[in-house]
Structure 1
Amino acid sequence: MIHVARARVRLVVALCLTVWVGVAAAGNRPDVNAERLNAAASEPSNWMAHGGSYDEQRFSRLEQIDQSNVGELGLAWSYRLDIDRGVEATPIVVDGVMYTTSAFSIVYALDAKTGELLWKHDPKVARTAARDGCCGPVNRGVAVWQGKVFVGAFDGRLIALDAETGDEVWSVDTLIDHERSQTITGAPRVVNGRVIIGNGGAEFGVRGYITAYDADTGDQAWRFFTVPGDPSKPPESKAMAMARETWFGDRYWKQGGGGTVWDSMAYDPELDLLYIGVGNASLWNRQARSEGKGDNLFVASIVAIRPETGEYVWHYQETPGDQWDFTATQTITLADLEIDGETRKVLMQAPKNGFFYVLDRSDGELISAEKYVPVTWAERVDLKTGRPVVNDDKADWTKGPKLMMPGPLGGHNWMPMSFNPQTGLVYIPAQVAPALLDPDNEATWQGKGTLQLGSQPVALPEDPEARAQIVDMYKGRLIAWDPIAQEEVWRQDYPTIWNGGTLSTAGGLVFQGTANGEVRGYAADSGKLLWRSPANTGVMAGPVTYTVDGEQYVTFMAGWGGIFPTGFGGLADNTKVEPRARVLTYKLGGDASLPAATQLKTTIAADIPPLTANEETVAKGRDQFNTHCGVCHGFSAYSGGVLPNLRNMSKSAHDAFMPIVAGGVLSGQGMPSFADRLSQADIEAIHQYLIKRQHDLADEMAADAGDKDKDAS
């Protein structure tokens, strides 16, 4: 019988007093080394690694704040970030100093007790570079090692900063193909002097890889490719020779293949294994990408490699032949669990595909896998073969449209989950997010910054009633999951998806932010809501906790943005607060306050131009808009409020539409010229489509006003 070894006795933790010395004290740099990082869990006064420690459990032994007093939490301090464009960072806290990031990879060093700014480093990423990423110019944080702070800049640079001053020490270009839209949004990790970073861009025709650099010099130590390249050239490694046997045709390598390593990593010092999560295949459609066959290694896989050399050790592929954007880049969590009377060193993941996996982390053996959200694409995972039993009738969209569960947004996306060894539960920021996938076997990579998924351009229904039905299908969940019994223990439901990452503590608590603008604390054992406070914006990032001078703090990075709030704004009706980016830090008895929340308001422009185009031109404009513009301004022109609402353009914006889109007159504000990828006829078609959508909005608001008048009478 499978059971979990639960901790029976509450951990007793002596709060480590930390002495903060300001930047003015010369020579004070965080002395973070291998010994300290390996033992990070035993130093809960700090948060020295992305997941709290190398095992990425996001569990803190601090217990000053517990179930009995969490209701007394108040705001200790807040810090206003520079750009309101999506905040996804996990702060690093070392010896009283917090290091964190905002959009466009800006790094901040703050006094962790007061929130005072110590220094700031802006890597000067071009604001127009935002179009080169699928999901906004976000950043998930930094790494700290021996007096340096490391950040991956959105434009592909890996930068080392002096931790005392914020000055640049070295910078390297990590990109292998400047003709394609590669980015960095993930946080680096440091293992024994190797700074390790991956890249994003699978949707733009990028070949995946992960690279290690020398922490002192920035010299490249090794590079591990995740999908094969040009078959006319020798494979870069034995792993690539093996992977090449699982791909077919020549389109995949010309297009890129995907498999980008854009987020999760974990490290086991005892086994000396680095675990990386590999992203989706590109093109999405396997018929177009690989002649409809092959597992296409190592997409949608977890791969174990040696951090010193980049040598391949083992892999487990969660979604063979992925054609649903089922990345395996979600949180990889390591733990020791008692299974069938035996302590197993396991790796756990709740990836996009909707199954919760438990693997033996020494060799990649599948121990168990069960659905944690509704799943239609596969019936189960076969424990003998380790492969999903795919239901083609519901999953194969290459021959006709299929409603997928989960859709490409996943049952769990990048928001980090946590594991509490005392309760034995994993806390998953899960979601129900279906999608209709539609075939287009002729889709190809079209150039830098052009989103191509191997399907028709992403769109949302323009009919208000049809859209409302889809909105009702999207629900968020906080799930407490037993990884041994493979079952849900408790759940909290949310009105929409894209809620924040989780933190669990020895105080018996789970902390999480929400998409509709709150920060919350739950009882880790029962799920009872014990504390809530307004954040005045959507909260997506994972919170952290630490102590300064013996007092425990909890910090949330708050700021709405990224792919769902921007591209899928039409599904985010429950988030009506303007996206104000801040660091929010709480303590018992905190009495600071936030400015009043500013609600998003939709109005009708005074002078909407007449629609002069025919239906064919408007349809062309719709496809061009959703391909080139929707990822930022909302598919089908539904704005999520992060960027300008193009269904509410002013007369001056209409008059300057061609100079803005083709001439780049607003490039200084982040709106690039699209003259290199759109003809004037294309741009005019987009303009006509937006005029049509502006008239649609006016009609919808008039109908709503009429309904309210009827109700009032």
Structure 2
Amino acid sequence: MSLVRSRLSGARSVKFKAVSAAMLVVALASCAPRKAANVDWALHGQDAGEKRFSDLGEITPANVGQLGVAWYADFDARSLRGVEGTPLVVDGVMYASGPWSKVIALDAQSGKKLWEYDPQFDGAIARRACCDVVNRGVAYADGKVFVGVLDGRLVALDAKTGKPVWTVQTTDTTKSYTVTGAPRIVKDKVVIGNGGAEYGVRGYVTAYDVATGKQAWRFYTIPGDPKKGFENDAMAMAAKSWNGEWWKYGGGGTAWDSMAYDPELDLLYIGVGNGGPWDRAVRSAGKGDNLFLSSIVAVRPSTGEYVWHFQEVPGDEWDYTATQHMILADLEIDGKPRKVLMQAPKNGFFYVLDRTNGAFISGTPYVPVTWAKGLDPKTGRPDIVPEARYSGTGKPFLGMPSPAGGHGWQPMSFNPKTGLVYLPTAEIPYGYISGKTEDFRFDPRGWNTGQDPGKTAMPEDPAIRRQIRGMMGGALVAWDPKARKRVWSVPMPLPWNGGVLSTAAGLVFQGNGTGDFAAYDATSGKKLWSMPMGSGIVAPPITYSVAGVQYVSVAVGWGGILPLNMGEALQASVKPKVNRVVTFRIGGKAPLPLPAKEAEAPLAPPPSTASAAVIEQGRVLYHVRCWMCHGDTVVNHGGVPDLRRSMVIADAAAFRGFVLEGAAEPLGMPNFSKDLKPDEVEAIRAYVIKRANDLKADPKMP
């Protein structure tokens, strides 16, 4: 017995020594320095629900004033154009997209360029892009980076080398489709939409296998020609809300940006765009809701099967897309937990929907609204002002929001801790007026709205322009989706500004059109820090950590639809001087060279000698062919030449060389030889010369 006890005692002693040794190892390990885990920004909206909120808390309201530049990296762009992309960070590497669908990979700590990818498409494709040669971001999965290219391709790149793994053409190249939106990853599929509603296309969303690029499914957002049959029951249902021969004009409904995914419900939410043409009298004989225009549609991501929809703007006539950022969250509403989808689309109402079934919960104006009196409290259907139905009437309607929206494509952010949504808003009036329906001529190469281009342009009378400009404004708004009201608002110098990021530490980051990147207190809106970037900012920021250090990054580069074609509203903007990514950290001390302020090109136009009739002809033609890039009434603040200051307008032959002979097609200036005659080009030149002389006579009133 004593021998057994002795052996048991020895066994306990050995076990005790082993446990003690193990505890010592653990204790020593806990004392040793640890390599901090990285926190990625691996999805477009940070999480599948696209909240654009981060739990990182090293940067706080107390120390945000110590932010400094960690590094910057420039894009190699053909020309300085709009930068709208959300960079991704995965395993210490940043992947960012810039103008012309170019992609760069950078070391997320140092900014060192690891590789770059140029899809190398024909610059003339830019003609199809209503809203600049922008790209809103890439996607990442299984060691591949996915980018949608302006010419309609979806390319999978090897994340280590930047070399293409597979490529698919997602669009019909005989039609004027474009791709500017970021792909989304949903399980083993990559999903992409397209743009081009005004150019005669039919919208759809397509899912491809991440590994191979094989098409898994395609969901059309509006019905096609009924004689050819319908792809599914959803299209058959939608067709009942259309009239006339809409398919001849494409119909629109392009899903060019926003999507979100709920893994628990296994639903993919798609934001659907406006009608094409805008004028419903042309598009659908002035009748019908025209499903699924201006709608949110939920589908099964494995099959593309329709589940539910909610239409925000029945029978859209105002370019009020539902393609703006959607956020999925769980909120307690009227004492009950609800799974909600939140959106502040172009139309000016902030929507809260039940994302399980699309049921309407609430909708409240977040900016001034003139097109509708309000929304039905049960269904969410708008009570549309009769005068707003301008189609076919020939009567003007002053609409707010404008086609640029009360909130544009720039992403907003939801902070679960404050319960607030932070969003950039815009207040811009717009005069809608249709031409005669019988006079409409569909142009597959041009901009089709059905409106009268000679009457929708900004009036040239200086007094009227000052009055209209006084109606314009922008703000960073903190919105309470439960109380349905603004909590605070920070006015901005311009109505067009960057997307938003919020953090658990109580910060909100945003860049603006005057080139400032700033941090605000999430509860009060107080500005806590800012730094000039040398160019206007429209892209949204992100935050991530590498080796325990938190970084904040933003892509910089002024451009997009408003700087190109509504320059009147943006005179205080900082024009595109750089296209780059700038990254900050606490104590960062890297230099950030800002571009020198360039003197305006000399204003020395030739005298305006053309007849009033020729100038008027040129004005109408200009607003059919040129204004989308060179600006309403020849005023733009984007990355294309200010024609009023161009020496080319003094030389008729040189002007024709650009317009009719494609002298600058590689840079995106289209060749209009199939669309304009020499005498029409001369009329356009006469109008531009007149506007240049207007500016010379009154430099304060462009």
Q: TM-score, normalised by structure 1?
A: 0.90
Please name the residue that 1:318 is paired with. 312
Aligned match of 1:440 in 435, 443, 453?
A: 435
- The answer to whether the Cα contact below 8 Å between 2:426 and 2:474 also exists between their aligned partners in 1 is yes
Amino acid at match of 2:128: D
Q: Deviation at 1:386? A: 2.5
Q: Does 1:111 align with 2:107?
A: yes
In the alignment, does 2:267 pair up with 1:273? yes
1:64 corresponds in structure 2 to 58
Give matches, 1:287-686, under 5 Å.
287-394=281-388, 396=390, 398-399=392-393, 400-442=395-437, 444=440, 446-457=442-453, 458-599=456-597, 601-606=599-604, 608-650=605-647, 654=651, 655-686=653-684
Partners of 2:667 and 2:446 lie apart in 1 by: 20
Residues 276 and 303 in structure 1, CA contact (< 8 A), matched pair in contact too: yes
Q: Cα distance 1:106–1:704, how it changes in 2: closer, same or farther (>3 A)?
A: closer
* Residues 170, 323 of structure 1: alpha-carbon distance in 2 compared, 3 angstrom cutoff: same
CA distance in 2, matches of 1:641, 1:350: 25
> Shift of the alpha carbon at 1:384?
2.0
After superposition, the C-alpha distances for 1:309-334 in whole angstroms (9 at most, x for unaligned) are: 00000000001111111000001100
Amino acid paired to 2:353: L
1:683 CA displacement: 1.0
2:127 matched to 1:131? Answer: yes
Is contact 2:81–2:558 with CA below 8 Å preserved after alignment?
yes
Cα distance change on mapping 1:391 and 1:447 into 2, 3 Å = closer
Equivalence for 1:78: 72
Distance across 1 between alignment mates of 2:516 and 2:160: 33
Q: 1:397 to 1:245 in 2, by over 3 A?
A: closer
C-alpha distance after superposition, 1:163-204 (max 9, x if no partner)? 01000111111113x333110000000111111000000011
> Matched residues in 2 for 1:69 and 1:526: separation?
17
Alpha-carbon offset, residue 685 of structure 1 = 1.0
The percent identity for this pair of structures is 52
Indicate which of 115, 138, 141 corresponds to 1:142: 138
Change in 2 beyond 3 A, CA 1:317/1:544: same
Q: How much does 1:596 deviate?
A: 3.3
Query: 1:359, 1:365 within 8 Å by CA — same for their partners in 2?
Result: yes
Which residue among 680, 698, 701 is the counterpart of 1:700?
Answer: 698
Deviation of residue 340 (structure 1)? Answer: 1.7
Structure 2 runs not aligned, ≥5 long: 1-32
Alpha-carbon distance in structure 2 between the residues aligned to 1:258 and 1:210:
13
Does residue 214 in structure 1 map to residue 209 in structure 2?
A: yes
**Residue 95 of structure 1: how far off its partner (Å):** 0.9
1:511-556 alpha-carbon deviations (Å, 9 max, x no partner): 0000111001001111111111101111111100000111000001
Give structure 1 stretches of 5+ with no counterpart: 1-14, 20-43, 706-713
| Of 553-562 and 652-661, the range deviating more from structure 2 | 652-661
One-letter code of the match for 1:96? G
Structure-1 separation of matches of 2:174 and 2:575: 37
Question: 2: distance between equivalents of 1:396 and 1:628?
Answer: 23
Task: Report the equivalent of 2:198.
Answer: 203
Structure-1 separation of matches of 2:324 and 2:220: 19
Deviation at 1:578, TM superposition (A): 4.0
Q: What secondary structure, in the 3-state scheme, does the structure 2 residue paired with 1:530 have? A: strand
Higher mean alpha-carbon deviation, 633-642 vs 98-107, is at: 633-642
CA–CA distance in 2 between the matches of 1:159 and 1:313?
29
Structure 1 position 18, deviation (Å): 6.0
Q: Counterparts of 1:494 and 1:390 in 2: how far apart (Å)? A: 30
Three-state SS of the structure 2 residue aligned to 1:240 is: helix
Quote how far apart the aligned CAs of 1:129 are: 1.4
* 1:37 alignment counterpart: none
Deviation at 1:397, TM superposition (A): 5.8
Closer, same or farther in 2 for the Cα pair 1:469/1:18, shift >3 Å? farther
Q: Secondary structure in 2 aligned to 1:476?
A: strand
Partner of 1:229: 224
8 Å contact from structure 2 (residues 534, 574) kept in 1: no
Does the 8 Å CA contact 1:255/1:445 hold for their aligned counterparts?
A: no
The residue identity in structure 1 corresponding to 2:501 is L
**1:30-41 maps to which residues of 2 (within 5 A)?**
none
* 1:152 partnered with 2:148: yes
Of 147, 161, 165, 1:165 maps to 161
User: How far does residue 107 in structure 1 lie from its aligned partner after superposition?
Assistant: 0.5
| CA apart distance, 1:609 | 2.9
Which of 171, 175, 187 is 2:182 aligned to?
187
Once the two structures are TM-superposed, the CA of residue 395 in structure 1 deviates from its matched residue by 5.2
Report how far residue 273 of structure 1 moved: 0.1
Describe the superposition over 1:338-397 as per-residue Cα deviations: whole angstroms up to 9, x where unpaired.
112211100000000000110110000001111111111111110223201111135546
Kindly indicate whether the alpha-carbon contact (under 8 Å) linking 2:280 and 2:391 is maintained by their aligned counterparts in 1: no
Greater mean alpha carbon deviation, residues 667-676 or residues 93-102: 667-676
1:188/1:196 contact within 8 Å kept? yes
Residue identity matched to 1:631: M
Q: Distance in 2 between matches of 1:628 and 1:591?
A: 47
What is the CA–CA distance in structure 2 between the aligned matches of 1:350 and 1:118, rounded to whole Å? 37
CA distance in 1, matches of 2:544, 2:290: 42
Q: Is the 8 A contact 1:579 1:641 kept in 2?
A: no
Instruction: Kindly indicate whether the alpha-carbon contact (under 8 Å) linking 1:394 and 1:404 is maintained by their aligned counterparts in 2.
Output: yes
Query: Do 2:281 and 2:391's aligned partners in 1 also have CA atoms closer than 8 Å?
Result: no
CA deviation after TM superposition for structure 1 residue 612, in Å: 3.6
Aligned partner of residue 145 in structure 2, secondary structure: strand
* Secondary structure of the structure 1 residue equivalent to 2:697: helix
* Separation of aligned partners in 1, 2:458 and 2:385: 26
Query: 1:673 and 1:686 mapped to 2: Cα distance?
Result: 15
- Opposite residue 553 of structure 1, the aligned amino acid is Y
Partner of 1:574, secondary structure, is coil
- Checking the alignment, whether the CA contact within 8 Å between 2:344 and 2:351 is kept in structure 1 is yes
Separation of aligned partners in 1, 2:103 and 2:382: 41
CA contact (8 A) 2:648 2:655 kept: no
Output the amino acid matched with 2:692: Q
CA distance in 1, matches of 2:42, 2:222: 32
Q: How much does 1:456 deviate?
A: 1.8
SS state at 1:553 partner: strand
Q: Following superposition, which runs of at least 4 residues in structure 1 exceed 6 angstroms of deviation?
A: none
Task: State the match for 2:237 in structure 1.
Answer: 242
**Deviation at residue 433 of structure 1 after TM alignment:** 1.5
- For 2:27, the equivalent position in structure 1 comes to none
Residues 149-168 of structure 1: CA deviation (Å, up to 9, x unaligned): 00000000000100010001
1:129-166 deviation per Cα after TM superposition (whole angstroms, max 9, x unaligned): 11111001100000000011000000000001000100
- How far residue 652 of structure 1 moved from its aligned partner, in angstroms, is 7.9
**How much does 1:611 deviate?**
3.0
Larger deviation, residues 165-174 vs 467-476:
467-476
SS of structure 1 residue aligned to 2:656: helix
Other-structure match for 1:25: none
In 2, the alpha carbon distance for the partners of 1:391 and 1:106 equals: 44
Q: 1:264–1:277: 8 Å Cα contact kept in structure 2?
A: yes
The number of residue pairs the alignment matches comes to 663
Relative distance call for 1:394 and 1:225 in structure 2 (3 A) is closer
